[in-house]
Amino acid sequence: MTRWVYDFAEGSMEMRELLGGKGANVAEMTRVLGADRVPAGFTITTEACVAYMRAERNEPEDLAREVADALARLERHAGRRLGDPADPLLVSVRSGARESMPGMLDTVLNLGLNDESVLGLARATGNERFAWDSYRRFTQMFGNVCRGIPGERYEEEIAAAKARRGATLDTELDAQALRELTDRFREIYRDATGERFPQQPAEQLRLAIRAVFDSWTGERAVAYRRLNRIPDSWGTAVNVQQMVFGNKGETSGSGVAFSRDEVTGAPEPSGDFLPNAQGEDVVSGARTPRDLAEMREWMPHVHSELLEILRTLERHYGDMQDTEFTVEEGRLYMLQTRNAKRPAQAAVRFAVDAVREGLLTRERALLTIDPGSLDALLHPTFDPQFSFEVLARGVAASPGAAKGAIVFTAPDAVHAGEQGRDVILVRPFTDAEDVAGFHAARGIVTSEGGKASHAALVARGMGRPAVVGAGELSIDLAARTVSAGGRLLQEGDVIAIDGTRGVVTVDDVPLVPPSVNEYFERVLEWADGLRRLGVRANADTPTDARRARELGAEGIGLCRTEHMFMAADRQPKMRAMIMAHDEEARRAALAQLLPLQQQDFEGLFEAMAGLPVTIRLLDPPLHEFLPNAEDLATHIERARLERSPELERLERLLERVHEITEENPMLGTRGCRLGILYPEIYEMQVTAILRAAKAAARPPHPEIMIPLVGYETELALMRELVERAGEREGLTIGSDYTVGTMIELPRACFVADRIAGFADFFSFGTNDLTQTALGFSRDDVESRFVPVYLDRGIIDRSPFETIDQLGVGWLVRLAAWVGREAHPGLKLGICGEHGGDPESIAFFHQAGLDYVSCSPFRVPIARIAAARAAVMHPLQSWG
Amino acid sequence: MTRWVYDFAEGSMEMRELLGGKGANVAEMTRVLGADRVPAGFTITTEACVAYMRAERNEPEDLAREVADALARLERHAGRRLGDPADPLLVSVRSGARESMPGMLDTVLNLGLNDESVLGLARATGNERFAWDSYRRFTQMFGNVCRGIPGERYEEEIAAAKARRGATLDTELDAQALRELTDRFREIYRDATGERFPQQPAEQLRLAIRAVFDSWTGERAVAYRRLNRIPDSWGTAVNVQQMVFGNKGETSGSGVAFSRDEVTGAPEPSGDFLPNAQGEDVVSGARTPRDLAEMREWMPHVHSELLEILRTLERHYGDMQDTEFTVEEGRLYMLQTRNAKRPAQAAVRFAVDAVREGLLTRERALLTIDPGSLDALLHPTFDPQFSFEVLARGVAASPGAAKGAIVFTAPDAVHAGEQGRDVILVRPFTDAEDVAGFHAARGIVTSEGGKASHAALVARGMGRPAVVGAGELSIDLAARTVSAGGRLLQEGDVIAIDGTRGVVTVDDVPLVPPSVNEYFERVLEWADGLRRLGVRANADTPTDARRARELGAEGIGLCRTEHMFMAADRQPKMRAMIMAHDEEARRAALAQLLPLQQQDFEGLFEAMAGLPVTIRLLDPPLHEFLPNAEDLATHIERARLERSPELERLERLLERVHEITEENPMLGTRGCRLGILYPEIYEMQVTAILRAAKAAARPPHPEIMIPLVGYETELALMRELVERAGEREGLTIGSDYTVGTMIELPRACFVADRIAGFADFFSFGTNDLTQTALGFSRDDVESRFVPVYLDRGIIDRSPFETIDQLGVGWLVRLAAWVGREAHPGLKLGICGEHGGDPESIAFFHQAGLDYVSCSPFRVPIARIAAARAAVMHPLQSWG
């Protein structure tokens, strides 16, 4: 038979799933600090909540009996009874899920009071005001939490009572006033529910437990879970705990305390407290709390006890603690402790200090850092002290904050950049033609697209803050205006964006520059010593490459050569190549591109100074380099009506665009298919790479990567092409350079053993693998679907952000397995966006890959994520 | 140590891979008919050819010795020696691959002759003319085949010699003339090669064997293999056989004979022969051969021996035989036998007769039918009621009627085919280079050749109607005209041909769609009794559905509801629905579509009279229903310049088109994603289906299919939507209707166990699964790539035609496996184009699916293919 209730004395930290975080922590704390320090109580399990929900809000059999038994034990321990008219036991009832969901679930304090026991409490404590204040709070919380009566109904009454007495603070209300308020609150209850306020403590407890269960499916909690990827199926536990009172007078009080500074991580405890107050008063903000340091003057012995306890807890948990405490008439009680949430700088500082102090090993210290949060250390941020008004919200596509004048086109951004002006590029969406504008702008905003849109990818790759898919923005490119929320902004108006949070504002928010501090550096050093996965960067230019090395990249995992063709001096030559109707004309255009490409690669090799550089040959469909068909149609119609001599040229151009345009370019003539149809393009690129390699001061390690291979023969043919070009340049495959492929089609994973025979390396293109395996065009579905699909519970995160383990992940594992089996020396990497995502990195570590490659700014995060993965999964079946 | 050479007496039918088809068959025939009937010889294995190619055209070690040994044995057996100046042994050297490749590989006859032995041959046979004719043929073939000297060089000399002597036929040249010709041929050889014509028979043999090996990688052979999906790696065997001579005078001759009528399958032997001729004369078309029946008068005892032999061979092989024979001075020798290629009507007739005669079981009889060829039975014929004027008569070489514009070259046919034009390829004769034209043309006409000519063989193999040897046609390739009976036809003029009767006409004869004959009916009945796979049809309309039932469909496997929205009366309503900016407007438009959809389904249910009907809810991206953006842009620009009041409406329309248009619609907002975004669309469709079901006279079995599911929750949500609609209509899921999904995304296959929990059936959408697994947009790559990829040997067939077993096939097997494991009663079908492809059907049978669904006209083929699969793979691990 399932057991639904555990006393605190029976639980432990390990029982988190069953008892919830709070229940498990209180139980653990009872063990560590002793029963005198922690008010006694019991926990109703998460399983009871799940059973209650499954049974359509009916408590499981036996729950009532188990609660009654636990309550009896608690009464014996406390020496008082719930609802005893002479000297009643009071309890708190609090929710506690497996993961902390601050403010999302509900709490009832002072349960056990009724019209009789309140008098007993007054007598027993000799404090009538305290008794009525407690009863007032209970009736208020109970009505609000257990019956859904709006909080304002109660607040209005309190305000009226204060007004009648000319009081400004709650504490100025005397016992009589509080008694009257309580009467009024019970009337409110009767009016709202048609029932008398429950006087039986057992009934009060039953209703409160139900209310906590119900709060799990409440709107606030559901929304929080969606946002924080917490499964609905977990349920919440309910903690029933003997009340201690911080509101018994000037030798009582409540507070929260961190074992270290919660903002900087510095090794001084920090926190807030309020004398003569219950815990809710501290966090509600109704009264301004006092700093923990002041407690030393107020009650020195309690203060030093608290510091000692914080040290004990930190040692015990091996992590910075976030606690709640109450002082009842000079006696300190610890109500709760948990590992402290903390900003990135505090996280790295704690980790370094903890190792220095001998508190943690490097391995355990690394595990206390959430690598996802470290972004904040690498980019400017909005000043957290400054409050501002949000103009529009969008997808947090590329982290960091930026401020600048609005421009609407890439050339305008370039122009402004040349003049040294700070601008934000604002566009409905971006495409390859806009890339120069990304360089020139401080940040990017789009009204369309998702996390994997062109704008997001390019911005992340370059480390430019970006907010994309900000649908509230209505952009009129013709008028050069953007409107949102009734505001109309012109070109040149200054906006600020926070790409870490996905917000846009017109307020002049101060920006805080990033600081790579000594603590972060130290943590990165450890990570490099612990990780098994290599970390490379995706970089297309020498500038990006240099930045990547500074941030610790051990090579380039993906250089996208097509970006090189987008530069202003190359595009006309590229277009000439594409417009060519035969091989000869194509070769002529390519001959012009060859020296330019060679320069590109020379710069890249110099920047990487001998580190491996994986260069992907031309991948995108050619029509990306041609003008838009719709614009052309417009020009043609105008030329026709105006009898312009341009007409014929435009028509020819459109004809070619039609020839090249495809229904589904993602699945069309791209990748190695280009190389097979037009071998001369790849020949030119390979020649440029190899000549650049010969020209390099330090011999580089070019890894030539053939994209979109699905059949082993494709790779065999392209490998042969590369090898022939190598022979022409006097270079030897295997020693002077290697040839591999991008694995980005499901079929490639199934035949990876065959493909491996022609590959020195595989690099998983998980972006495209996600697109094909899931049938998701990232340009199309991410902005349309990801929100809806998250909302409907179909997915719990974007598959473009964190790898879809069940589908895409299986394909990766399959290909890694059969590829290595067929070719034991095969090098395995991954160069999709997932290479910078900590959770995905852990997956790639377990899948046995050799390295991940990500955008330069994610390199430090990847280093730490890789080390965490190695610490958590030290055993590898892969070599 | 590998053995490279086998005597005919050592081989057997089972050794086909090693000895090639010809070698294995000659060996088998030697066993069956006795050594006296089959000239002795030996076979050099395909492995020797493979070793030769691998060693870059170097014969494997020991090959020379093994050939010498085998030759010595042959000489002992024949009692003559190769090159013996007194009475030489002559041999033929012929290629023979595992699969027959007619006309693709090379042959050398009369090898062993030289300047001395020709005199010995003359003396020994007492026939000087025969000796010199044989030497002339040998020097000609050897120069052409072994040294690549163009055939025209020799033909020119023959023509000149005939002109000098006023002769019209080769046979009119006397010994002296032939001797002079031979001298001239040896000069040609010396001029072309700089070497003397080889006089050592061993050297002749070595070169001839090399030439056969080399012919495997010759252009013609490579092209043929591409077309016929024969792997390059097989290699060819070489058969060295003692020569017998059909050209020794009037009691000698050569011919080809089929054990039954090769066109109709009727149980009378058929064939062609030529007195005083070698085999090459019969097939070259240079002399018009005589019908086999006439042989009875020529040499009655030989004729009856031949008929007896044909019966023996047919019994032995259990299949209709295609043989070559030679009569040497009244003595019959069988040179070759093989299972006869035959048109569909002959195939079904043979199968039925063979079972009736007790020759074969139904199972074995079915295996003699190539289901792919049955298309021809489903081909049109001339309307028998229509009388027309015959332009020309020829050999009825391949059945079926066709109509189209005249083209004179294969490339023209291909070009026209790409443009969707119907053409008839008209040529004097055809060769391997023309094969692509056969695919592209509706039919083929030649003015030369017989039933065994290249044109006839290829056309029959492909199921293309063909009339060959229509000698009345005078074709002028340079002028691109053809004339007959005083009529001059130009390229582009339309003709009609009847390949079943062998006639050509310029009259506009109506073509009658095919009708299933009694033999075919019988075979289909057997198939239905033997197959395990169900066969359904893909049909969207009552007309299609009725046709499908007539052709034996057991249900509809795929009804594409979107086709219903394309009708003229629906499109405006559909557009209104799409243009709707909110749910209310959308619902209003849908309410108008509801009764129309209901009618559609009522018609379908009526046509299928209680058989299961799988209906797929709306699948394609919505923008398919909207106008083209480029056209709109043109209209808008015109409206702008002309200040048209339409401007604003057009701009609004374009804006909506932009909103809806996607980069990669194939991977975009389609399938169940539509149902999740706009549940009201699916609600309307489901309501229409269920109301139609209620209205049906015979209770139908609607199977509601949710497309493009990748996550189990998608299906769970849509199933719930369907079930709710069912409840509203008072119908019960599971009994009144079922709900399943299309499996068409790789991810769906990986999570098929989860999806199966919400599905009554899976239907594999192998078209889309091919698109996603291979990253091939069918619209884009098929025309661009498939030809190039076939040509480069990357694929050996289009993956849209025959399922890609390594990639897509694995996904299907995986999903079938885990889906059934999670849900044992799950029904599994496939509704992609592959459902009508025999090879794919065999795969689906083995993968354990329950049924295939294909286009109505493929249903009979699928029934037979499914039965063949069941006969070949009777054991199933699946239930």
Cβ partners under 8 Å of residue B645, min gap 6: none
Alpha helices in B300-442 (DSSP H): 300-317, 344-356, 362-367, 410-418, 435-440
Cβ partners under 8 Å of residue A830, min gap 6: A557, A763, A764, A766, A812, A844, A849, A851, A852, A853
Backbone angles phi, psi at B584, to 5 degrees: -60, -50
Amino acid at B137: R
Report the interhelical angle of B151-165 vs B128-147 (nearest 10°): 150
Is residue A424 within 8 Å of residue A497, measured between CB atoms? yes
Reported as a pLDDT band with limits 50, 70 and 90, residue A830 is very high
For the segment A44-71, the average pLDDT, to the nearest whole number, is: 94
Range scoring the smallest mean pLDDT among A203-207, A716-720, B506-510, B512-516: B512-516
* Residues B29-70: tens digit of each pLDDT: 999 999 899 999 999 999 999 999 999 899 998 999 999 999
Q: How far is CA B256 from CA B20, B290, B311, B467, B518, in A?
A: 20, 11, 15, 20, 29
Residues in chain A within 8 Å Cβ distance of B673: 781, 785
In the DSSP assignment, the letter for residue A82 is B
Nearest-CA distance B220 → chain A (Å):
22
Nearest-CA distance B810 → chain A (Å):
8
Q: List the beta bridge partners of residue B5.
A: B44
CB contact under 8 A, A664 and B794: no
Q: Which of B226, B622, B663, B678 to mutate to test the interface with A (most CBs of A within 10 A)?
A: B663
For the segment B4-33, the average pLDDT, to the nearest whole number, is: 94
* Residues A541-574: tens digit of each pLDDT: 998 999 999 999 999 999 999 877 877 778 888 8
Is B749 part of the annotated catalytic residue set?
no
Taking 3-state DSSP, the helix, strand and coil percentages for chain A, each rounded to the nearest 5, stand at 50, 15, 30
> Does B771 contact A at CB distance below 8 Å?
yes
Reported as a pLDDT band with limits 50, 70 and 90, residue B607 is very high
**Exposed / middle / buried, residue A584 (Cβ in 10 Å: 0-12, 13-18, 19+):** exposed
* Residues A400-416: tens digit of each pLDDT: 899 999 999 988 998 88
Cβ partners under 8 Å of residue A643, min gap 6: none
Cβ partners under 8 Å of residue A219, min gap 6: none
Tally of CB atoms within 10 A around A296: 14
CB contact under 8 A, B775 and A811: no
Instruction: Identify the top-confidence range among A380-389, B23-32, B497-506.
Output: B23-32
Residues in chain A within 8 Å Cβ distance of B781: 667-669, 673
CB contact under 8 A, A807 and B710: yes
Q: How far is CA B834 from CA A157, A627, B666, B707, B766, in A?
A: 75, 38, 19, 18, 7
Alpha helices in B335-488 (DSSP H): 344-356, 362-367, 410-418, 435-440, 454-462
Percentage of chain B exceeding pLDDT 70: 96
Instruction: Identify the top-confidence range among A282-291, A798-807, B228-237.
Output: A798-807
Euclidean distance between CA atoms B76 and B96, whole angstroms: 25
In this prediction, residue B112 carries a pLDDT of 94
Nearest-CA distance A704 → chain B (Å):
21
CB contact under 8 A, B794 and A708: no
Q: How far is CA B47 from CA A380, A430, B97, B218, B236, in A?
A: 70, 59, 11, 18, 8
Please report the ipTM that was assigned to this predicted complex: 0.82
Six token digits for residue B176: 């002296």
* Euclidean distance between the first and the last CA atom of chain A, given in angstroms as a whole number: 46
> Does A629 contact B at CB distance below 8 Å?
yes
Is residue B105 within 8 Å of residue B99, measured between CB atoms? no
- Helix, strand or coil, per DSSP, at residue A535: strand
CA torsion angle for A803, A807, A810, A816 (degrees, to 10)?
Answer: -60
Euclidean distance between CA atoms B519 and B529, whole angstroms: 16
Cβ partners under 8 Å of residue B216, min gap 6: B49, B53, B95, B97, B105, B235, B236
CB contact under 8 A, B746 and A772: yes
Active-site positions of A?
454, 831
Percentage of chain A exceeding pLDDT 90: 64
CB contact under 8 A, A663 and B780: yes
For the segment B740-761, the average pLDDT, to the nearest whole number, is: 97
In this prediction, residue B39 carries a pLDDT of 96
Report the interhelical angle of A647-660 vs A571-579 (nearest 10°): 80
Q: Report whether pLDDT(B820) > 90.
A: yes
Q: Which of A448, A644, A667 to mutate to test the interface with B (most CBs of B within 10 A)?
A: A667
User: Kindly report the CA angle at A9 between A3 and A11, in degrees rounded to 5?
Assistant: 55
Query: Nearest CA to B380 among B263, B499, B480, B479?
Result: B499
User: Kindly report the CA angle at B503 between B498 and B507, in degrees rounded to 5?
Assistant: 85
Cβ partners under 8 Å of residue A120, min gap 6: A84, A85, A86, A87, A88
Euclidean distance between CA atoms B272 and B249, whole angstroms: 18
**Cα B502 to chain centroid, rounded:** 22
- Helix, strand or coil, per DSSP, at residue B290: strand
- Helix, strand or coil, per DSSP, at residue B668: coil
Nearest CA in chain B to A782: B668
For the segment A643-649, the average pLDDT, to the nearest whole number, is: 90
Euclidean distance between CA atoms B162 and A522, whole angstroms: 99
Amino acid at A438: F
Range scoring the smallest mean pLDDT among A189-193, A249-253, B287-291: B287-291
For the segment A723-749, the average pLDDT, to the nearest whole number, is: 97
Is residue B801 within 8 Å of residue B837, measured between CB atoms? yes
In this prediction, residue B792 carries a pLDDT of 82
Region of residue B326 (left: phi > 0; alpha: psi -120 to 50; beta: else): beta
Backbone angles phi, psi at A141, to 5 degrees: -65, -40
Six token digits for residue A127: 């404090």
Nearest-CA distance B788 → chain A (Å):
8
In this prediction, residue B516 carries a pLDDT of 64
In this prediction, residue A105 carries a pLDDT of 64
* Residues B280-308: tens digit of each pLDDT: 777 766 677 899 999 999 999 999 999 99
Tally of CB atoms within 10 A around B338: 20
Catalytic residue, candidates B701, B831, B834, B854: B831
Is residue A579 within 8 Å of residue A640, measured between CB atoms? no
Reported as a pLDDT band with limits 50, 70 and 90, residue A879 is very low
Question: Which helix (H) or strand (E) element contains residue B476?
Answer: strand B474-476
Residue ranges of A 634-693 with Cβ closer than 8 A to chain B: 634, 636-638, 641, 662-669, 673, 676-677
**Exposed / middle / buried, residue A113 (Cβ in 10 Å: 0-12, 13-18, 19+):** buried
Closest by Cβ to A794, choosing from B633, B711, B807 = B711
The residue that leads in pLDDT, A777 or B851, is B851
- Helix, strand or coil, per DSSP, at residue A426: strand
Q: How far is CA A869 from CA A554, A796, B277, B839, B863, in A?
A: 18, 22, 82, 47, 55
In this prediction, residue A514 carries a pLDDT of 79
HSE, CB side, 13 Å, CA atoms: give it for residue B284.
9
Percentage of chain A exceeding pLDDT 70: 97
Nearest-CA distance B760 → chain A (Å):
20
Region of residue B256 (left: phi > 0; alpha: psi -120 to 50; beta: else): beta
Strand order of the β-sheet with B423-427 is B392-393, B503-505, B494-498, B401-407, B423-427, B443-446, B466-468, B395-398
Residue written as token pair 């025959």: B802
Six token digits for residue A342: 């903390």
Tally of CB atoms within 10 A around B175: 15
Amino acid at B823: H
* Residues B256-269: tens digit of each pLDDT: 999 999 888 999 99
Amino acid at A376: A
* Euclidean distance between the first and the last CA atom of chain B, given in angstroms as a whole number: 46
Nearest-CA distance B179 → chain A (Å):
51
Alpha helices in A609-671 (DSSP H): 629-641, 647-660
* Residues B407-436: tens digit of each pLDDT: 999 889 988 888 888 999 999 888 766 877
User: To the nearest whole number, what is the mean pLDDT of chain A?
Assistant: 90
Euclidean distance between CA atoms A816 and A827, whole angstroms: 9
In this prediction, residue A104 carries a pLDDT of 62
CB contact under 8 A, A780 and B668: yes
Percentage of chain B exceeding pLDDT 90: 63
For the segment B480-501, the average pLDDT, to the nearest whole number, is: 90
In this prediction, residue A778 carries a pLDDT of 83
In this prediction, residue B451 carries a pLDDT of 65
In this prediction, residue A674 carries a pLDDT of 94
Euclidean distance between CA atoms B619 and B672, whole angstroms: 7
In this prediction, residue B274 carries a pLDDT of 92
For the segment A570-587, the average pLDDT, to the nearest whole number, is: 86
Nearest CA in chain A to B716: A794
* Residues A101-121: tens digit of each pLDDT: 766 667 899 999 999 999 999
Residue ranges of B 131-150 with Cβ closer than 8 A to chain A: none
Q: Which of A673, A768, A790 to mutate to test the interface with B (most CBs of B within 10 A)?
A: A673
Residues in chain B within 8 Å Cβ distance of A677: 784, 788
Euclidean distance between CA atoms A460 and A19, whole angstroms: 41
Euclidean distance between CA atoms B701 and B612, whole angstroms: 5
In this prediction, residue A852 carries a pLDDT of 98
The full 3-state SS of A305-356, as one line of letters, equals HHHHHHHHHHHHHCCCEEEEEEEECCEEEEEEEEECCCCHHHHHHHHHHHHH
Q: List the beta bridge partners of residue B613.
A: B556, B702
For the segment B578-604, the average pLDDT, to the nearest whole number, is: 91
Amino acid at B529: G
In this prediction, residue B285 carries a pLDDT of 61
**Cα B456 to chain centroid, rounded:** 14
Q: Report whether pLDDT(A439) > 90.
A: no
Q: Report whether pLDDT(A139) > 90.
A: yes
